[in-house]
Amino acid sequence: MMTEVSMLIDVAKCIGCRGCQVACKQWNQRPAEKTKFTGTYQNPPRLSANTWTLIQFIEPEDYDENPRWLFRKQQCHHCVDAPCEQVCPTGAIKKLENGIVYINQSICTGCKYCVEVCPFDIPQFDRASGTVRKCWMCLDRVKNGLEPACATTCPTGAVSFGSRTGMLAVARERQNILEKQGFSTRIYGKDELGGQHVMYLLPEKASIYGLPEAPRKPTEKIFWRWLLGVIPGMAILVAIFAYLFKQRSASDTAASDAKSGGE
Amino acid sequence: MEHYNWGIPVALDLFAAGLGAAVFMVAVVADLAGGRKYRRISTTGALIAPWPAILGVLLLVIDLGKPGRFWEMILKRSHETLGVESLMFKIGSTMSTGTWLLTIFILGSLLYLVITLLAYPFKWAETLKKVLGVVGLPFALLVTVYTGILISATSNLLWNNWLLPLVFVSSAIVTGIAAVAFILAVLQVFKPESKIGSDVPRLEIMNSRLIVFQLLIVILFIIVGIGSAQMKAVIGSAFGLLWWIGIIGLGLVVPLLVGFKGGAKSPQISMLISVLVLLGGFFLRYAILIGGQMHI
Ligand code: SF4
């Protein structure tokens, strides 16, 4: 039995060096992308099939009153209640015992359902391979007792990796320190979507970091939605039946006189 | 050109699968309500029902990143050995449920087609046809609902609207009736002396009442979703023209008016009206599917 692993991203410690981005590409052998300068250091502009982690550079809306430059490492959260895994029709997405959510590239058919379902917009379709790809928490490294490439690289300790309980303890400790300095903090991923195996220690509101404040499983109310389609649908069929039944005895000509003329 | 995750093939599938299933339902209900009296409707419906769904499934397969692996949705493989373990079915995955619903529907509607033809020479097939029709009804209805659930149970801001399944269900039925009316009207044009199109005005009148309902649902759908930028774009931007003129105006309001006037005056006009309804139905799926994926 593998222990449940987790990654903790202490965003306050991130200096935006993007070493993790490079390490990820290197270890997972993802090619670089040609990009254009768009006025921000965020590069590439978004996650892709070849970019599994990305430092988001944020200048918050209230930048003028309170100037600050924020960085958040985007990647798969490895949810406990992973919506992507729930909707995968082939079973290519699997939640491992250690908490890692990974996509088996030899099973994925590239239906792209997980792409539309993930609340964090993480999985990306790879047109070259025809499959969907995303961060797999360097499963090959983790299996061999190593940390994911990004965590190994991070020079400031903003990305750390270990057992879930251990990471939670570190997060709480850091939370105390930050709270004393006057930040109101949140451990994002502690309980969200059943808990996530990538947790963010946020010193500001989640939405400022581009995270949904209360992420929801899109499949949550699916049963009611089926009912909401089925019941009115049945009512329509009954109405059609009633109409046709009533009209049954009306002569053919009554309704069609105008149209075909000489019946 | 922007590359959409789910593009025109998926829009066509959502439209075609719903259309085929609705045509089947119309055929069965007409058969139950009037038997021989509505034979023209039920036979036409039975003859066309499987094909749009088959086309839809083919399009879905082609749209996969790896079309050759479509069977992964049917057979479950082990992650360790990659050997086949069992059938693949996941109730929480609408893609999986939909795969099975479509498979069952296509097989069932093909059987229904055969039995409908058998019912002409053989009396016993008549009863069998009714039984199979009743058994098939829930599956057909679920196919029409599936098309809406598939995209509504996602994180997409436009699609994740609790009215979307109903929008698709009622649109499917409206287009299904129009499809039957279209075929009957075409046959009438080719055989002017026959009575083959005599049910068409009745179908048009019936459809106009359903279109009133459809319009209400579409308006509610807009109201429920108006908070999202995507919805504003779909009804406001360049898409808005397609939405208001194509889908609502030509696809719903015009057929509604014709229906309330007692049906079209000639089979040629009936053909045109049916085509408007069908195009409106397709563009409804298209606008919602693509609109939801626009980066705003
Ligand atoms: S963050 Fe998205 S891709 Fe990662 S496990 Fe959760 S739902 Fe799946």
ipTM, two decimals: 0.93
A262 band by pLDDT with thresholds 50, 70 and 90 = very low
Return the best residue to mutate from A9, A53, A73, A77 for the ligand 1 pocket (most ligand atoms within 8 A of CB).
Answer: A77
The answer, for B50 touching chain A at a CB cutoff of 8 Å, is: no
> In Å, what is the CA distance from B252 to each residue of B54, B81, B234, B292?
26, 53, 17, 22
Query: What are B166-183's pLDDT values in tens digits?
Result: 999 999 999 999 999 999
Structure token digits, residue B237: 């931007």
The reported pLDDT for the residue numbered B296 is: 63
**Cα of A112 to ligand 1 centre, how many Å?**
13
Query: What are B15-32's pLDDT values in tens digits?
Result: 999 999 999 999 999 999
> In Å, what is the CA distance from A162 to each residue of A172, A198, A246?
15, 11, 71
Tell whether A174 is covered by a domain.
yes
Contact A109 B69 (CB under 8 A): yes
Tell whether A112 is covered by a domain.
yes
Tell whether A256 is covered by a domain.
no
Q: Is the pLDDT of residue A127 over 50?
A: yes
Chain A CA closest to residue B87: A90
Is B57 in contact with B13 (CB distance < 8 Å)?
yes
The answer, for B100 touching chain A at a CB cutoff of 8 Å, is: no
Give the contacts of B195 (CB within 8 A, at least 6 positions apart).
A252, A256, A260, A263
Contact B93 A88 (CB under 8 A): yes
The reported pLDDT for the residue numbered A259 is: 42
Tell whether A123 is covered by a domain.
yes
Cα B29 to Cα B12: distance, rounded to the nearest angstrom: 25
CATH of the domain at A90: 3.30.70.20
Give ligand 1 pocket residues (Cβ under 6 A). A 76-79, 82-84, 101, 118, 120, 122-123, 134
Tell whether A47 is covered by a domain.
yes
Q: A244 contacts in B (CB within 8 Å)?
A: 29-30, 33-34, 38, 202, 206
Is B53 in contact with B17 (CB distance < 8 Å)?
yes
The three-class DSSP label of residue A28 is helix
Q: Is the pLDDT of residue B142 over 60?
A: yes
Lowest-confidence region among A143-147, A216-220, A231-235, B236-240: B236-240
Q: Is the pLDDT of residue A2 over 80?
A: no
The answer, for B210 touching chain A at a CB cutoff of 8 Å, is: yes
Tell whether A63 is covered by a domain.
yes
Domains of chain B: 8-291 (1.20.1630.10)
Distance from CA of B225 to the nearest CA of A (A): 15
Backbone Cα Rg of chain A: 26
Q: How many structural domains compose chain A?
A: 1
Return the best residue to mutate from A74, A84, A93, A124 for the ligand 1 pocket (most ligand atoms within 8 A of CB).
Answer: A84
Lowest-confidence region among A158-162, B241-245, B261-265: B261-265
| Domain carrying residue A187 | 5-209
Tell whether A73 is covered by a domain.
yes
Convert B170-194 to b/e letters by CB count within 10 Å (16 or more is b). Answer: bbbbbbbbbbbbbbbbbbbeeeeee
Name the residue with the closest Cα to ligand 1, atom 5: A78
